Amino acid sequence: EIQLQESGPGLVKPSQSLSLTCSVTGYTITSGYDWSWIRKFPGNKMEWMGYISYSGSTNYNPSLKSRISITRDTSKNQFFLQLNSVTTEDTATYYCARDGGRFDYWGQGVMVTVSS
């Protein structure tokens, strides 16, 4: 069974970096698919943030392009999100998901609050 699980701090100070990990079991992230980060803001708006592909290439939402980085550790079957210079507007629940265009497997989500 394919499972994804996010981990990382639930509270980040403004202007600092947000760093999250997605651990994948049941599927090797180098075997195929893209591996995405998606966030859901208070009030329900959903935003696709970007992906890292099975080959290691990346694609980011232009709205975040200057602040986002998605990397991976293939030895641990994990991929990572780093979002720099966060503000209170980055407060959201962050999900990782397997991306074949549609998102067929999701992590449980991690709520991140940006506050001093």
Partner 1 sequence: DIRMTQSPASLSASLGETVNIECLASEDIYSDLAWYQQKPGKSPQLLIYNANSLQNGVPSRFSGSGSGTQYSLKINSLQSEDVATYFCQQYNNYPYTFGAGTKLELK
Tell me which of 46, 73, 74, 85 binds partner 1, using CB under 8 A: 46
Q: Which residues contact 65 (CB under 8 A, 6 or more apart)?
A: none
In the bound complex, what is the minimum distance in angstroms from residue 51's beta carbon to partner 1?
Answer: 9
Contact 102, 108 (CB under 8 A): no
DSSP letter for each residue of 35-62? EEEEEE-TTS-EEEEEEEETTS-EEE-T
CB of 45 to partner 1, least distance (A): 7
Residues in 55-114 at the binding interface with partner 1, rule: CB under 8 A: 59, 61-63, 95, 101-104, 106-109
Count residues near partner 1 (CB under 8 A). Answer: 18
